[in-house]
Amino acid sequence: MFKTYEEAVNYIHSLPRLHKRNTLDDIKQALDRLDNPQNSYPTVHVTGTNGKGSTVNYLANLLETSGKRVGMFTSPFVIKFNERIQINHQMISDKEILDLVNQIVSVTEGIKLIEFEFVTVMGFLYFRDKVDIAIIEVGIGAEHDKTNVITPILSIITSIGLDHEKLIGPTIKDIAIEKSGIIKPQVPVVCGELPKSVESIIVERAKKEKSGLFQLGTNFYVSGFKTKEYKNQFTYGEKLVTIQDIQVYGFEKTDADNSAIAIKAFILIEKMLKSECSSRLIVNHIDDHLLLGREQIVQKDPLVLMDGAHNISAVDNLINSLTAIWPKKDIIILYTGMKDKDRADILTLLSSKVQMVYVSNLLMTRAAKKEDYDLDSYNNIQFVSDYHSKIDEVISKMTENQIFLITGSFYLISELESKFNS
């Protein structure tokens, strides 16, 4: 038995990251021994290449304001492990983590759970008897993800793009097939705008499962999008429903899209639960809580911001949004990537769109090192070993015509939170 929170969390992080067998047998066996807590409350299941965390947050804001106790199971954490399991945006306590770890270890002898399976079991168990509904974010993919042991009342696919190709790819078609596994028989599905090359995969899976499909751009819409003072403003629309003057923090169009997905999900859930859904509640409360590491402003003048964008589509959206709003400003980047990401494609993209890119590495096994980068062909990309000093240097020399973006990994954001908040 573990005696401290630190011992319990260290045990979790000591577990293997990946299974040799790509099945759900082990987590199902563990949950069986705990009387399947995941079946004791309604759930919403969320997947997507990008936008999962934001959509979960927006939806939780709305459900909480409508009077529900809402569980949130998300990843990764930015500052503290406890962020991954929350009720009404309040993190699970250190003592509750310790108690859950000891409880799970005591009943799962002989079951070889990996880290994500163990944390998933923790979340399911913690929410039992505490929530009215829980929003469960997948880890990777959907079909074979360790969270895919639930039968939700609603499934959400925020987006489909290239990421984790070695695990669920290598092609975008493979990724779409994997993510379509979130669709359950006769469970409605809300999804964002999908690439035309894979849209039919989702449509056909929903048709096969007799699941109602509600797609952004087809069944509901974002219109009148504009950005002002770091706020996105837009109108949500669907048949017989128009909600104007919605504002959410940020400057990317994807913020409005993710908000719209959450709004459609909220409308459907309230109808299922026979609750009242008001436009005023949506307008006033969709942005009640903000997420760390998403378009996070560190300094406004000159603009310094952090974002955990770590795949090609997320980085592309971020840079395009910055250049659209501030077309005359030069962008400086600090980038740290992981070994399993498309670093070469990301750097080629950045090199073509920004003034300067400083590449560095984090002191962790998954992080790409200097020798993993081929920077000789770029004139405006430079490797720096001490990114803390480089950050201080760039900020001290910035002019009002420059923007400094720190990106590439939530692990980097996590490390820098204390630096900037101090």
Question: 275-305 pLDDT, tens per residue?
Answer: 888 999 999 999 999 998 899 999 998 999 9
**Exposure of 89 by Cβ count < 10 A (0-12 exposed, 13-18 middle, 19+ buried)?**
middle
**N residues, the chain:** 422
Percent of the chain with pLDDT over 70: 97
pLDDT tens digits, 118-151: 999 999 999 999 999 999 999 988 788 899 999 9
Judged against a pLDDT cut of 70, whether residue 21 lies above it is answered with: no
Confidence of residue 44 (pLDDT cuts 50, 70, 90): very high
Q: How many CA atoms lie within 13 A of 111 on its CB side?
A: 23
Q: What's the whole-number mean pLDDT along residues 213-218?
A: 97
- Residue pair 192/216 in contact (Cβ under 8 Å)? The answer is yes
228: confidence class by pLDDT, cuts 50, 70, 90: confident
Q: How far apart are CA 21 and CA 353, in angstroms?
A: 42
d(CA 277, CA 269): 9
CA 161 – CA 168 distance, rounded (Å) = 11
Sequence-ordered list of residues with C-beta below 8 angstroms from that of 200, at least 6 positions apart, any chain: none
Longest dimension (CA), the chain: 61
What is the distance between the alpha carbons of residues 257 and 249, in angstroms, rounded to a whole number? Answer: 13
Token pair listed for 45: 């299941």
Q: What's the angle, vertex CA 334, arms to CA 333 and CA 340, rounded to 5?
A: 110
Cβ contact 2:103 at 8 Å:
no
- pLDDT category at 342 given cuts 50, 70, 90 is confident
Is 193 strand, coil or helix? Answer: coil
- CB 378, CB 335: distance < 8 Å: no
DSSP string, 316-358: HHHHHHHHHHSTTSEEEEEE--BTTS-HHHHHHHHHHHSSEEE
Homologous superfamily of 5-285: Mur-like, catalytic domain (3.40.1190.10)
Give ∠ CA 377-167-73 in degrees, rounded to 5.
Answer: 110
- Contact 213/189 with Cβ under 8 angstroms? yes
CA distance to 131, 133, 275, 284, 285, per residue, from 67 (Å): 11, 11, 10, 14, 12
Q: What pLDDT does residue 69 have?
A: 98
At 141, which amino acid appears?
A: G
Does the structure show a pLDDT above 70 at 272?
A: yes
Please state the rounded mean pLDDT for residues 376-383: 92
Alpha-carbon gap, residue 358 to 352, rounded angstroms: 14
pLDDT recorded at residue 248: 97
Angle of CA points 349, 355, 359, to nearest 5°:
65
> Nearest 5°: CA angle at 189, between 183 and 190?
140
Task: Give the model's confidence band at 40: pLDDT under 50 very low, under 70 low, under 90 confident, else very high.
Answer: very high
DSSP 293: T
Question: Which of the 8 DSSP states describes residue 216?
Answer: B
Domain 296-421, CATH homologous superfamily name and number: Mur ligase, C-terminal domain (3.90.190.20)
Query: Looking at residue 377, what is its pLDDT?
Result: 85
Q: In terms of DSSP bridges, do strands 296-299 and 241-249 run parallel, antiparallel, or are they unpaired?
A: unpaired
Composition of the chain by helix, strand, coil, percent to 5: 40, 20, 40
- Domain ranges in the chain? 5-285, 296-421
Scanning the structure block, which residue is given the tokens 């913690």?
A: 126
